Amino acid sequence: MVSTLDTVAERVGLAPSSPLLLTALTHSSYAAEHDLESNERLEFLGDAVVDLAIADLIVTRYPALNEGTGSLVRSRVVNEASLAEAAKVLDLGDVIRVGRGVRKENGTERPSLLADAFEAVVAALYLERGYDVARSFVHEALEDEVRAASKEPGDVDPKTQLRQWAEATGRGTPVYDVSSSGPSHDVTFSASVRLGEEVMASGEGRSKKSAEAQAALVAWRGHFDA
């Protein structure tokens, strides 16, 4: 069932008519077609608010984590994959306003687009209702991820994890093939990871690095966590 703006607004804690919420849900492709402000500035602010809120959660609720392990936990939580999952729980993809081309390509399912929308919504909450409300929203959305990461804070990043396993088992080194698409203001990078001739998984991101990390994460979960 597709969620409505009213439903999503209630989950987020803002009025459906909130100008900030509407801007947070406006992708650059839609903004360009309708001469509106996109969510890019809010996403920039929201990125900082999410970082601060997760650092706050780690320091106040996980005293056993020191600066180094706390940074590792935060990096495992504040990333495109985790934020995109949080956006999916809120059904942000159902209400994000995107241009015709992005809509045609099912762009509202892109992890990068969903993660950016989540951060933009956090910024809207921060500006309209203050940091305490935004912090509580972030904590509720991501606390399970923090709890899981805190149990094994030393876990390495997906690309390193995949490479170490592949080399240790004699399968060679993973190779990443990356391409880009879209206009200059909205470039999406797509990466596939392969071992030998086998393509293991693919991923997308707003940068080459994030696309490769997403592909590695999907490969690891799909082939080794099952």
Q: Name the β-bridge partners of 178.
A: 191
* Residue 60 to residue 150: CA distance in whole angstroms: 13
Two tokens, residue 197: 């001739």
Residue from 43, 80, 119, 186 carrying the catalytic annotation: 119
Say whether 119 is catalytic: yes
Which one of 47, 116, 145, 212 is the catalytic residue? 47
- What are the DSSP E strand ranges found in 71-225? 175-181, 188-195, 198-205
Spatial separation of the C-alpha atoms in residues 153 and 174, rounded to whole Å:
24
Q: Show contacts of 198-205: CB within 8 Å, 24+ apart.
A: 200/174, 203/111, 204/110, 204/111, 204/112, 205/80, 205/111, 205/112
- Number of Cβ within 10 Å of residue 118's Cβ equals 31
Please report which helix (H) or strand (E) contains residue 44, including its range: helix 40-61
Strand, coil or helix: what is 180?
strand
CA–CA dist 149, 173 (Å, integer): 26
User: Which residue in 219, 30, 215 sits closest to 113, CA to CA?
Assistant: 30
Active site residue 47: yes
Active site residues: 47, 119
